[in-house]
Amino acid sequence: MTENSDDAIWRQGRVWMSAVGVVTAIAGWFVYDAMMAPAWMRELSLEMTARATIVSDRSKETAFSTMRGRPEPDSPYICLSKLTSFEWDRVFFVPSGGPISSPLAGFKWQEESVSEVNSRLASDTRYQLIAFERDGSVVEYDYYFTLWADLSAVGQPDGFDRNDSVFVADSNGDTYIVRPAASSGSNRCAE
């Protein structure tokens, strides 16, 4: 082999490695994006943590590192309408084990079918469902792990309209427990 052929092999190797790197990066982004919780869910988790601290324990030792840099909560109320960047009319919480309520099952679903969602909820007790409806369609939904919080107290068949989607969170030491705020109303979530 000559020096020129060694350089050609080296260039081909670099091109091949670059192509593999680009394909791996693109595939990695799609996997990461598919596995990453939506922003509203991350915000809900942070709000539960902050608000439960007000109710359960105000000591500095209970603050999680993810809370740093966030303003100190001014009330125990979690205003779900402030945590979403999309339009919705009602929110539904389906506890672990399901099934999806009749009103929620009657809406148009974009991706999974109601039977697929019910099957997943029934087969794995780690999952709870949060679904948002607008104009008769489920516009956003995702599964919320039971190890993060217990949503069974907010699992009402008719869900919550936007103005009544005000909740409180408490901690039992192992997990957060989310409940409807008593006499919620829009005044607790005034802009």
Tokens of residue 114, six digits: 């109601």
Please, what's the largest Cα pairwise distance for the chain? Answer: 84
Of the candidates 49, 47, 113, the residue with the CA atom closest to the CA atom of residue 84: 47
Burial of 63 (0-12, 13-18, 19+ CB in 10 A): middle
Nearest 5°: the CA angle 142, 144, 150 is: 145
Q: What is the residue-level pLDDT of the chain in tens, covering all 191 positions?
A: 555 666 666 566 666 666 666 666 565 544 444 455 688 888 888 888 877 765 555 555 544 444 556 666 777 899 999 999 999 999 999 999 989 999 999 999 987 888 898 998 999 888 899 999 999 999 999 999 888 899 999 999 999 999 899 999 988 877 889 999 976 444 667 65
Q: Does the global pTM surpass 0.85? A: no
Instruction: Say which amino acid occupies 186.
Output: S
| Domain spans of the chain, in order of start | 1-36, 38-189
